[in-house]
Amino acid sequence: MKVLVFIKRTPDTAAVVKPTPDGKDIVREGLAFIINPYDEFAVQEAVNIKSAKGGETVVMTVGDDASTEQLRRALAMGIDRAILVKHDRFWELNPSQVGYAIAEIAKKENPDLIIMGKVTIDDYTYALAPYVAQALGYNLVTYATNVEYGDSTMKVERESDLGKEVWEVPYPAVISAERGLNEPKIPSVMGVMKAKKKPLDVVEMDLPSYAYEIVRFTPPPPRKGVKLLESVDDLIRVLKEEVKIL
Amino acid sequence: MYDFYLLDEELTPEERQIRDVVREFVRKEILPNIGEWWLKGEFPTHLIRVFGEMGLLGITTPEEYGGLGLSKRIYGIVARELEYGDSGIRSFVSVQNSLVMYPILTFGSEEQRRKYLPKLATGELVGCFGLTEADAGSDPGSMKTRARKVQGGYVLNGSKMWITNGSIADIAVVWAKDDEGVIRGFIVERDFKGFSTQDIKTKISLRASVTSELIFEDVFVPEENVLPNARGLKSPLMCLTQARYGIAWGGVGVGMAVLDEAISYAKERIVFGKPLTHYQITQEKFADMLADLTKIQLMVYRLADLMDSGRANFRHVSLAKREAVRTAKRMAEKARGILGANGITTEYHAMRHMANMEAVETYEGTYEVHTLILGEYITGVPAYRICDEEICGD
């Protein structure tokens, strides 16, 4: 089976993100970056599929030169080769532009399966997997928590507020990874050394233009301190007079 | 992680990635559990194979023997990151790499290398290093363990003390004097008749590490288990130079750990209505700690270059081990003070590191022994020897 994984370079979940003075971007200098955590489930899933069923695994991203760090990490986790679709301000791209790039690569690579995270933690659009499936005419299952891979179909579990669903889906397909799909492994030192020798192709691509602009980033308001109250009467008074919800 | 002089920028992208995966491993597997292991006096044996899978055993061992053939600098970075977690964890890895795999590689036969090194690299085999005795620590040349030549091998009698990994080891690299009084190296396997171990349970330092006594009662060691190229005290001391180098980096790891912890605590801790960081006394402590840390960081980085280019000698390593560990101990003590009463618990890391540093300052050449090594280098007078007629004149 051939699996294509899409990942994105995102700020570390523990990083403190601040807007730039003009409010149109975040300060990227000195910020720690990681593979989007949901994409890391996708990488691990591809590695698991290859170790169980053989085949080939390819990881791609749309990103700047620094995004090779994340591609190398995916290679260190066990992916066979990597493709960087070069874009110096990739964080400004819309899901349809990134989705176009993925679809273009997929047309050349012909994967049986495309896996990516259900969402990226920096833009929260949830739109990428549906876009890619639509563009390619592939089947789609979102928020996968467990998959059994058969020869021509796969059984995908997804969890919703209504309970668990199991879908049987023929290849080719796109799945978006939810937490719980697997436990991503920390790469080994050997993995890092092997990754150095694996192919990493850089692709230039004209992406469709899209008429949208980020107007302003605003940080969340700072959390107010805890106020200790003396009695229930005090609580009722605060809820009435200060919070004004009673 | 304080890297004030941006020394890690010297690392190659791969070296940085190796640093990051080890760091991540320590954050995920070690830090959440180490307080409990330390209190219970347990070494996490379930992680031994994981160390192997991660590639932490046999870092500098050539690839043909199952190692990774990487630089001393990377070995140092790994030691630093592991000791950010705990000295006991780093000690395990140091012993396997520097005190077991290094002597087999350096002094062993080709058969011995092929038999032991690949399995030591995966963690399938655990090793220990038996040099110190109860009455022969700083003066290992006065060891009492004897290797009597018999047909087909040697018979070992004696005991070794304070041996890291002793009771969990499958093989022990043991140093003993032969019939001519020459120190020789032996690979003693766990099931050799007459070989037994006993753990030292009353430690209040390095508690998440196995420390044992090795006992040899008429242990027959076949000729094929004698390290053919080891002769004299120089051989085990060469191993110690390798291990001490890793320990120096480990001291830096402790320094980084306690500074990180103390700063994040001081930012949150409110005293007299404002955070602890707002007080000049606290700021002075932090400035001292950052200066101390930066000095030892610069030192180990330079030492790594000297090691990798073959220009370092044991004296360079002595200075680094002496300074890094003493500095780390002093930093841990300051950090513990900043943490106040919380600092005396295992919920926080500073006091565990401080207690660990007491053992680390003593093992692998005490602070005083390294002082004397440097003293001899500077003055030409070997002050640790019993008065030499030529020097003392009597």
Q: Give residue-wise pLDDT tens across range A200-209.
A: 999 999 999 8
Across the interface, whether the CB atoms of A189 and B21 are under 8 A apart is answered yes
Nearest residue of A to residue B17, measured between CA atoms: A192
Q: Is residue A224's pLDDT more than 90?
A: no
Instruction: Specify whether the CB–CB gap between A60 and A83 falls below 8 A.
Output: yes
| Each residue's pLDDT tens digit, B68-90 | 999 999 999 999 999 999 999 99
Is beta strand B270-271 parallel, antiparallel or unpaired with respect to B171-177?
Answer: unpaired
pLDDT tens for each residue of B51-69:
999 999 999 999 999 999 9
Say yes or no to pLDDT of B393 above 50.
no
Q: Is the model's pLDDT at B389 over the cut of 70?
A: no
Nearest chain A residue to B27, by CA:
A186
- How many helices and strands, by DSSP H and E, does chain A display? 6, 11
Q: What is the pTM of this model?
A: 0.90
Which of A69, A72, A189 is the closest to B54 by Cβ?
A189
> Distance between CA atoms of B19 and A36, rounded to whole angstroms?
20
Alpha-carbon gap, residue B148 to A118, rounded angstroms = 69
Q: Please provide residue B172's backbone torsions phi and psi, each rounded to the nearest 5 degrees.
A: -125, 130
Q: Where are the alpha helices (DSSP H) in B339-381?
A: 350-362, 367-379
SS3 content of chain A, % helix, strand, coil (to 5): 30, 30, 40
Residues 6 or more apart in contact with residue B254 via CB below 8 angstroms: B83, B84, B87, B328, B331, B332, B353, B356, B357
- Is residue B108 within 8 A of residue B277, CB to CB? The reply is no
**How far, in Å, CA of B14 to CA of B233, rounded?**
37
CA distance B275 to chain A (A): 14
Whether residues A189 and B24 touch (CB distance < 8 A) is answered with no
Nearest residue to A118 (alpha-carbon basis) of A6, A214, A4: A6
Q: Give the pLDDT score at A159.
A: 86
Interface test with A, best of B8, B12, B16, B18 (most A CBs within 10 A): B18
Is B284 marked active-site?
no
The DSSP symbol for A19 reads: B
Interface of A with B in 41-80 (CB under 8 A): 69, 72-73, 76
Q: Examine the pLDDT at B387 and tell me if it is beyond 60.
A: no
Q: Give the pLDDT mean for A66-70.
A: 96
Q: A195 to chain B: which residues are within 8 Å by CB?
A: 17
Q: Which of residues 235-274 of B touch A (CB under 8 A)?
A: none
Average pLDDT over chain A reads 94
CB B100 within 8 A of CB B175: no
Q: In what order do the strands lie in the sheet with A153-160?
A: A163-170, A153-160, A139-149, A173-177, A113-117, A2-6, A56-63, A81-86, A200-203
- Predicted confidence at residue A219, as pLDDT, reads 85
In Å, how far are B176, B269, B360 from B262, measured between CA atoms?
A: 45, 10, 21
ipTM for this model? 0.89
Tell me if chain A has a CB within 8 Å of the CB of B93: no
Structure confidence at residue B394 as a pLDDT band (50, 70, 90): very low
Q: What confidence tens digit (pLDDT) does each residue in B203-239 have?
A: 999 999 999 999 999 999 999 999 999 999 999 999 9
Surface-to-core class of residue B384, CB atoms within 10 Å of its CB (0-12 exposed, 13-18 middle, 19+ buried)? middle
Residue A26 to residue A123: CA distance in whole angstroms = 12
Chain A contact set for B70 (CB, 8 A): 189, 193
Nearest chain A CA: its distance from B112 CA (Å): 24
When pLDDT is averaged across residues A130-150 and rounded to a whole number, the result is 96
Q: What is the mean pLDDT of chain B?
A: 96
The mean pLDDT value for B164-174 works out to 98
DSSP letter at A86?
A: E
Chain A's closest residue to B63, CA to CA, is: A190
Average pLDDT score over residue span B41-51: 97
> Taking CB atoms and an 8 Å limit, are B55 and A186 in contact across chains?
no
| Domains parsed from chain B with CATH numbers | 7-126 (1.10.540.10), 128-232 (2.40.110.10), 235-379 (1.20.140.10)
Chain A residue numbers with beta carbons less than 8 Å from the beta carbon of B21 are: 76, 186-189, 191-192
The angle at the Cα of B103, spanning B102 to B104, to the nearest 5 degrees, equals 90
Run of H or E including A42: helix A37-53
Q: Are A108 and A138 in contact (CB under 8 A)?
A: no
Tell me how far apart the alpha carbons of residues B331 and B286 are, in angstroms, rounded to a whole number: 9
Name B311's Cβ contacts closer than 8 Å, sequence gap at least 6.
Answer: none
Euclidean distance between CA atoms B378 and B24, whole angstroms: 42
- Strand, helix or coil for residue B101: helix
CA-based end-to-end distance of chain B: 55
Q: Do A188 and B70 touch (CB under 8 A)?
A: no
Which whole-number Å values give the CA distances from B389 to B141, B198, B381, B385, B386, in the listed order?
Answer: 20, 42, 12, 11, 9
Q: Is B275 in CB contact (< 8 Å) with chain A?
A: no
CA-based torsion, B292, B297, B302, B306: positive or negative: positive
Which DSSP string do the residues of B37-67 spell out, in sequence order? Answer: HHHHT---GGGHHHHHHHT-SSSSS-GGGTS
Q: Are B21 and A196 a contacting pair at CB < 8 A? A: no
Please identify which of the residues B29, B81, B323, B364 carries the catalytic annotation.
B364
